[in-house]
Amino acid sequence: MARIPVRTVLSIAAVLAAAAAATIAAPVQKAGLEVRLGVCDWTLGKSGDPAALGLAGSLGLDGVQVSLVPQGDSLALADPAKRRIFLEAAERTGVAIASFAIGDLNDVPLKSDPRAEKWLGQGIDIAASMNIKLILVPFFGKGDLKDDPAGVDAVVAALKRLAPRAERAGVVLALESWLGADDNLKILERVGSPAVQVYYDVANSQDSGHPILDEIRRLKGHIREFHAKDTKDLYGKGSIDFPAVRLAMEEIGYRGWVVIEGTKTPLGVEKSVRYDADYLRSVFSTKPAR
């Protein structure tokens, strides 16, 4: 075996040591979460209006959470012609329909008004026909379930009736309420369907006194979509620690939509939404889809 000169050995060793030191010192580059940013159409002042898609696109958003608005005893999008208008707007603008929401359930509660179950059934059919995979089911106002065991029982019964229809359609009913993680999990366990899951709003939970980072981890596998919201100020200036929220989302392996529901608009609606969207993009390291 030929002898390698000592000087050469020392040179090689120095190169390897430098490379190892550089590797150790180099910062770990975090990949952006696989999330897309949307906005609620009611935040833009355009509930149930296809014009929300174009406006969201102009503000740098990837999608819109669209309100399923009642029209008489039915939902407006039960009309195929109106569904086509939304689908054409999405195609034209390149802005997706992230999900649906039926905000009127806060005044027409699933726990006590038969119209709510009828609307949800229609909503499932509408979502399936438009290839939308999620409907937000809210429980605020008259629909609040906190300290209402009878109301929870009624909601569980209604969801058990609706769940098979949602399963067949490939649509998830995502529950958003003032309830904490444990109470949400109890409802999901009682319903016993993969089509009934959780919609998580970080500001609502924090304002209710719930430890949101622990709750996100507790609800791993059950959160189907997030509302980004801060009830105190513009994002990054208020009370929600969005970088910490991002880390919790990474821990649970979340992939999906983060939807802005702005409540503070000191710059006016459009400028405030753009500010919040730009802030969230810096936190989540995402780029606009277009």
Which residues form the domain of 96? 33-284
List the alpha helices (DSSP H) in the chain: 6-25, 51-58, 80-93, 114-130, 149-169, 181-191, 202-207, 212-218, 242-251, 269-284
Q: Indicate whether 7 belongs to any domain.
A: no
pLDDT for residue 290: 52
- Least confident range from 26-30, 56-60, 150-154, 200-204: namely 26-30
pLDDT for residue 4: 44
Q: Indicate whether 216 belongs to any domain.
A: yes
Segment 57-67 shows an average pLDDT of 97
pLDDT in tens, 200-256: 999 999 999 999 999 999 999 999 999 999 999 999 999 999 999 999 999 999 999
Does an H or E element contain 96, and which?
strand 96-101
Q: Indicate whether 181 belongs to any domain.
A: yes
pLDDT for residue 288: 60
Q: Indicate whether 4 belongs to any domain.
A: no
Q: Indicate whether 120 belongs to any domain.
A: yes
Q: Indicate whether 148 belongs to any domain.
A: yes
Chain center to CA of 118: 24
Number of domains in the chain: 1
For the chain, what percentages of helix, strand and coil (3-state, to nearest 5) are there?
50, 15, 35
- Counting residues of the chain whose pLDDT is more than 90, the rounded percentage is 85
Q: Indicate whether 23 belongs to any domain.
A: no
The CA–CA distances, whole Å, from 144 to 54, 79, 138, 167 equal 33, 30, 9, 25
Q: List the CATH number of the domain containing 258.
A: 3.20.20.150
Check whether 130 has a pLDDT greater than 90.
Answer: yes
Confidence at 106, pLDDT banded by 50, 70, 90: very high
The CA–CA distances, whole Å, from 202 to 38, 70, 131, 226, 280 equal 15, 27, 27, 8, 14
Confidence at 34, pLDDT banded by 50, 70, 90: confident
Q: Indicate whether 1 belongs to any domain.
A: no
Check whether 92 has a pLDDT greater than 50.
Answer: yes
The model carries a pTM of: 0.88
pLDDT for residue 169: 98
Structure tokens at 22: 């550089």
